[in-house]
Amino acid sequence: MTSAGATKKVVVLDYGFGNVRSAERALARVGADVEITRDFDTAMNADGLLVPGVGAFAACMQGLRSVRGDWIVGRRLSGGRPVMGICVGMQILFAHGIEHGVETEGLDEWPGTVEPLKADVVPHMGWNTVEAPEDSELFRGLTADERYYFVHSYAVQDWSLEVANPVMRAPKVTWATHGSPFVAAVENGALWATQFHPEKSGDAGAQLLKNWIGTL
């Protein structure tokens, strides 16, 4: 285990569907020792694993499985080792995704279905505020009027997991609204995720990543 105060090793999982260079720069900015890789052992042994994601749910799942990313995420979480998903990297953590009428299985770390946003203007592209729980660790030090950068057409709009399982604390769910409310972030034991892009969200996003690094 990395000693307190030491630089934390973070792997950005490179499975072909994420802004890996932007994530790398943002994590390095807040003091992490960052490596972009798809190597199984390196990803397993890092202090933190960041799973980015852009594009279609089904394609991201195919890419993730091609590098055994589903095994990496599952085995890290079974050992209580931190994982953070961003954008589609968050969406694939849910049970299912539906795009153009086609349903694809996700990693099923959380129940729920990623569905088209119910909004007049799609995609939801640009800056938006969020409603975070008062005891959020992810948003510690950030005010309610901070804005974060979103680019997506799909989201989870119903949260059904309300109680903790035996190895995880009760989840903390953050919401945002574009047309109707959707899940903007989740903190659930070792598994955290954001629908927005912290690496593109300026100083607020940097603080958020720093908060995550501080828990590793």
Q: Which residues are catalytic?
A: 87, 197, 199
Count H helices and E strands in the chain, helices first: 6, 13
Rounded-to-integer distance, Cα 184 and Cα 75, Å: 25
Rounded-to-integer distance, Cα 117 and Cα 91, Å: 13
- Residue 135 CB burial class (10 angstroms; 0-12, 13-18, ≥19): exposed
Residues contacting 83, CB < 8 A, separation 6+: 48, 49, 50, 51, 73, 76, 77, 190, 191, 192
- Size (the chain), residues: 216
